[in-house]
Amino acid sequence: MSDPAAPVAFEMVRRPPSQRTAGLISGMTGYRETARGRFSQREAAPLAIPLIISFGTPFGIALGREPDAADRYASFAAGLYAGAVYIESDGGAECVQVDFTPLGAYRFFGGAIVDLAARMIGIDDVLGSDGAQLRERLGATSGWQRRFDIVEDFVTNRANHLPSPELEFAYHQLSRSGGRIRIAALAEEIGWSRKHLVDRFRSELGLAPKPLARMMRFHRACGLARTGTSTGWAGIAADSGFSDQAHLVREFVSLAGEPPTTWARRLALTDSRLTRPQAAVSEG
């Protein structure tokens, strides 16, 4: 796949979490494309669980590969996936996207979070008639802020599933460490066996702790690359908990679909923070 080309004309409006949705979602986005064409984008192992409510043409979406004609999704939810997500659109997409935190996703979706793991599922299948009614109501409403108000009410009213206190503690510990805490040590700290901890992560977050820790380390590396607080890729690798620079390269290829220098060059087109010179990195 050639370097993805983002839509050349689009409208994007974001709303951060309110006091009601803090910890439940990381934000909401209103998105509308305004120029026809074939556009491709790539997301690297997102740590958010998105709910998409569409009013336009469907997206083409596939996990770990380019989408084909069968990979068309309008309104849907998607679970955590430890890899690159490939997205295509035709210039007619319009949607509201709600990005749930991993713990917030369990609060909202409950046990269905297991079915969402590494999958996209239509909104009617995951939310039933409530999802269809939400889509119709948003489609009949003009203005992003009014749409966000409706979605916020819907989300907070359905977020009735509480994760177990031990799981919530374990997730926060893993997150605070940037994915660097040992899974066995984490299980011991809360008095669970490693197997029980893995099973509970899968049932309440949709992903085992080890791949989730990989994603956290990767996102820390991405953040350091953007801010320039580490010295070259070797410094980023060390500060993110990778064993060495070669390990960092392998994880970028696995989770972003490309080596780190290629990732940086592509994102520098839209993120000026990545235009700073980087130390050379071996990608062999």
The confidence score (pLDDT) of residue 268 equals 78
| Cβ neighbours of 153 (radius 10 Å) | 12
The residues spanned by each domain of the chain are: 10-158, 165-210, 222-274
Residue 248, C-beta contacts closer than 8 angstroms, at least 6 positions apart: 221, 233, 236, 237, 240, 242, 260
The confidence score (pLDDT) of residue 6 equals 57
HEC sequence for the chain: CCCCCCCCCEEEEEECCCCCCECCEEEEEEEEECCCCCEEEEEECCCCEEEEEECCCCEEEEECCCCCCCCEECCEEECCCCCEEEEEECCCCEEEEEEECHHHHHHHHHHHHHHHCCCEEEHHHHHCHHHHHHHHHHHCCCCHHHHHHHHHHHHHHHCCCCCCHHHHHHHHHHHHCCCCCCHHHHHHHHCCCHHHHHHHHHHHHCCCHHHHHHHHHHHHHHHHHHHCCCCHHHHHHHHHCCCCHHHHHHHHHHHHCCCHHHHHHHHHCCCHHHCCCCCCCCCC
pTM (2 d.p.): 0.89
Query: Tokens standing for 21?
Result: 């949705």
The CATH class, in words, for 222-274 is mainly alpha
Q: What are phi and psi of 189, to 5 degrees?
A: -65, -35
Between CA 109 and CA 127 the distance in angstroms is 8
Domain 10-158 has CATH 3.30.420: no
The confidence score (pLDDT) of residue 222 equals 94
Mean pLDDT (10-residue bins), the chain, 284 residues: 56 95 97 91 93 96 94 96 95 96 97 94 96 95 96 97 96 96 95 96 96 96 88 92 96 95 83 44 40
The confidence score (pLDDT) of residue 139 equals 93
Between CA 213 and CA 136 the distance in angstroms is 38
Q: Which of 93, 101, 85 is nearest to 16 (CA)?
A: 101
Between CA 275 and CA 93 the distance in angstroms is 30
The confidence score (pLDDT) of residue 9 equals 78
Torsion over CA of 113, 119, 123 and 127, rounded to 10 degrees? Answer: -20
Between CA 181 and CA 147 the distance in angstroms is 40
Q: Which of 86, 84, 80 is nearest to 116 (CA)?
A: 80
